[in-house]
Chains A and B, each alone.
Chain A
Amino acid sequence: MTDPAINVSHVSKQFGETQVLRDISMQVEAGKVSCLIGPSGSGKSTLLRCMAFLEQATSGSIHIEGEPLGFTDGPQRRRQSPAELRRVRSRIGMVFQQFNLWPHMTALGNVAIALRKVRGMSRSDAEDRAMAQLDKVGLKERAHHYPAQLSGGQQQRVAIARALALDPTIMLFDEPTSALDPELTGEVLNVMRQLASEGMTMVVVTHEIGFAASVGNRIAFLDGGRLLFHDTPQAVFAAPREPRLEQFLDTYLDRGASMLK
């Protein structure tokens, strides 16, 4: 049996007195899309950030394609060396809610810089590759614009291109459309949908229940730091309901309904 792309095992996390994640275990298989949903403060973003080691779990372990992330395996839990961490992390691409494009570089520069400085590619090779990635997200003609000159949706697509340029096998999305005006979410979701159809392993923290239901192979529902469900969309949305999940989905329906008015 091959290793799962992501293996989260008994992960707990505390911020001071607050228990943010409680003994979470879940696997994401290669080529599958898992969507993390749940009310705000449920710990879904923290869990995703643990999968990139942007947050450190207080206990438990996370493996990326069989290799430990952040802490070494073995009886003594030790921090990985920065070089080791970079090596394991190089398989992960991350997309943030706030895009986090570097404001002093053009779209092309944002995508190309890591290819040059981290992968050691020549400037022209890096820019060719970056241009191809921008083309893929439909932004070739915006390559020489600075982030401040792009709409939110365009910035987020550049951010996706920036992550994809480094050839990750796993993409993590932290509420990628939450900072966008409603009319701009579609263009970002379409890019993500395309990516999923190409077989990319993805974990997506999202409030877009429709997207989760249609694109997700698995839906993980978190509440109060606990993972209550990690199952197929059919099972989560159709099967006999957990009361907390039902309550959560109802507030969504209400919100959806009020938006229609």
Chain B
Amino acid sequence: MSFDFAVILAKLPQILSGLGVTILIWVGGTFAAVVLGFVVATLRRFGGRGIEVILRAPIEILRGTPFLVQIFLLYFGGPYIGLRLDPWLAGLLGISIYGAAYYAEIFRAGFQSVPVGHVEAAECAGLSRNQIITAILLPEMALLVLPPALNMSVILLKETALLSLITVPELTMTVQAIGSQQYAFVESLVILALVYWALVELANWLGRYAERNLSKLSA
């Protein structure tokens, strides 16, 4: 057996374009997921008992079912209720909603871990509800949720590979397509694995860098 990686690497521009789509969906999806997750967590925390009960079910459903089933439902099932989405839009939406459920949990845990005493102290000092949220809760929470939030974003990066199964032209689909054109399928997969590995390690490294600097700021 012999492997020929050159024929894959010759298609570098295509690979880079796939990588670009992966990164766009990852960054865009993570951003949307964080925002949506934060809104949900805030509603659960401050919105009263009814909202908390209503919001719990979708979060549990999203966290209890495979992402693959979710995007199949969205992409293949959507048209039957008039929701006809381009693959990339379905992918972006899928990542955002799926991620939001996990971020909502991360933020909920973050809210809970801020000691009650800190909030009471702020109340005694005469701060308004909004002031307490922006001046006390959020900054304290940011430090606590940063590690799991960064971890989740790396998980989302890896989940974007599943979007190849609903024909989003991201990295996995692009490199696999090159592999079958060039009759070098194994080679294409090895390169694919290495690119993801490098990307994930880079993201982890950036995350640790951010954590270090943020904890210095607060110290």
Do A and B interact directly, with beta carbons closer than 8 Å?
Answer: no
Measuring CB to CB, which residues of chain A are less than 8 angstroms from any residue of chain B? none
